[in-house]
């Protein structure tokens, strides 16, 4: 069984505070976008082995892969093991704040449940998803957008009728999510950079993780400032914990032109794509 496993951006990510368990209380709006991995899952028969392959080097192929974690958690809850084969065709860069691994985990939960004859209900799948990672449950919802509260794992579908043209820019370096949250409390704003909410028809775009991330990765702060000066840009923000920055333009032609200019600005090692939010 083959499933599309889309990336997300966070249109806003408000951090309300650090919790006693070390996680942070957040309010976020996740939107699925037109960049996706393809996840293939095959049920081989009896046993308990998982063979994982992937088209790109550098993705872990052992039990630390979120796709395998999802499969193991599914089998534990369903109370039955099988032998499986997974292939990940990755197009979403990792350590990018685009939720690639989380999306793969959700696709595996859906596919495994389907292939095993639907032993688990959506509520149970959402619970398992939340135990794998804060971003996983939103990818189990059918809607193109969702709101997350708590760690981000308490999700509700969100109305989002806008098909927004986007440019995504990920410099060559990744950013580990735990590091970004850890720096949040004691971080400072850089002068001359816009951190304030950008008021848009779909809501107030802001990302509380820009403060800690920009302090170390000055290039991203400079990139945000540059994006906000470009023709047709309605808003620019970091997605999740980075390192992807995204800009929303008014038209697809503007996002195509901006993608070209951004590639030149960042150099050829950056990953740059023009796409749009899913509706």
Ligand X SMILES: C[C@@](CO)(OP(=O)(O)O)[C@H](O)COP(=O)(O)OP(=O)(O)OC[C@H]1O[C@@H](n2ccc(N)nc2=O)[C@H](O)[C@@H]1O
Residues identified as active-site: 8, 135
Site string (165-204) toward ligand X, x via CB under 6 A: ------------xx--x-----------------------
According to DSSP, the residues that pair with 30 across neighbouring strands are 10, 146
Q: Tell which one of 67, 107, 134, 141 touches ligand X (CB under 6 A).
A: 134
Residue 96 annotated as binding site? yes
Beta strands 2-18 and 154-157 are unpaired
Q: Tell which one of 6, 99, 137, 165 touches ligand ADP (CB under 6 A).
A: 99
Q: Provide the minimum distance between the beta carbon of 69 and ligand X in the complex, in angstroms, as a whole number.
A: 10
Q: Provide the minimum distance between the beta carbon of 183 and ligand X in the complex, in angstroms, as a whole number.
A: 11
- Which residue stretch of 62-70, 193-201, 230-238, 271-279 sits at the interface with ligand ADP (rule: CB under 6 A)? 62-70
Residue 99 annotated as binding site? yes
Q: Provide the minimum distance between the beta carbon of 62 and ligand X in the complex, in angstroms, as a whole number.
A: 17
- 240 near ligand X, judged by CB under 6 A: yes
Sign of the CA dihedral with 127 first, then 128, 134, and 135 last: negative
Distance CA 112, CA 228 (A): 43
- 65 near ligand X, judged by CB under 6 A: no
Q: Tell which one of 9, 30, 67, 235 touches ligand ADP (CB under 6 A).
A: 67
**Partner interacting with residue 137 (select from ligand ADP, ligand X, none; CB below 5-8 Å by kind):** none
Q: Provide the minimum distance between the beta carbon of 181 and ligand X in the complex, in angstroms, as a whole number.
A: 4
Residue 57 annotated as binding site? no
Complete DSSP assignment for 156-178: EE-------EEEEEE-S----HH
Residue 102 annotated as binding site? yes
CB-wise, 64 or 118, nearer to ligand ADP? Answer: 64
Site string (21-60) toward ligand X, x via CB under 6 A: --xx-x-x--------------------------------
**Partner interacting with residue 66 (select from ligand X, ligand ADP, none; CB below 5-8 Å by kind):** ligand ADP
**Partner interacting with residue 95 (select from ligand X, ligand ADP, none; CB below 5-8 Å by kind):** ligand ADP
Peptide bond into 243 cis (omega under 30): yes
- 154 near ligand X, judged by CB under 6 A: no
Residue positions forming the annotated binding site for ATP = 93-103
């Amino acid at each position: 069984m083959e499933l599309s496993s889309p990336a997300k951006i966070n249109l806003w990510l408000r951090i309300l505070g650090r919790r006693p368990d070390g996680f942070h209380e957040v309010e976020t709006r996740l939107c699925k976008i037109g960049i996706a991995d393809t996840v293939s899952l095959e049920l081989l028969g009896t046993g308990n082995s998982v063979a994982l392959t992937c088209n790109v080097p550098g993705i872990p192929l052992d039990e630390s892969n979120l796709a395998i974690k999802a499969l193991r958690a599914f089998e534990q809850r369903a109370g039955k093991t099988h032998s499986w084969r997974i292939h990940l065709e990755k197009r979403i860069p990792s350590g990018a704040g685009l939720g690639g691994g989380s999306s793969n985990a959700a696709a595996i939960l859906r596919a495994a449940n389907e292939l095993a004859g639907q032993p688990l209900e959506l509520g149970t799948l959402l619970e398992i998803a939340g135990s794998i990672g804060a971003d996983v449950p939103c990818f189990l919802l059918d809607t193109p957008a969702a709101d997350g509260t708590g760690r981000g794992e308490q999700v509700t579908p969100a109305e989002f009728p806008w098909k927004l043209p986007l440019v995504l820019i990920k410099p060559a370096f990744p950013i580990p999510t735990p590091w970004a949250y850890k720096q949040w409390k004691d971080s400072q704003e850089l002068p001359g950079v816009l951190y304030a909410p950008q008021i848009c028809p779909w809501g107030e775009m802001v990302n509380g993780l820009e403060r800690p991330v920009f302090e170390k990765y000055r290039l991203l702060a400079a990139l945000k400032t540059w994006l906000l000066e470009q023709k047709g840009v309605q808003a620019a923000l970091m997605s999740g914990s980075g390192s992807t920055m995204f800009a929303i333009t008014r038209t697809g032609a503007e996002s195509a032109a901006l993608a070209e200019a951004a590639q030149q600005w960042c150099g050829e090692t950056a990953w740059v794509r023009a796409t749009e939010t899913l509706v």
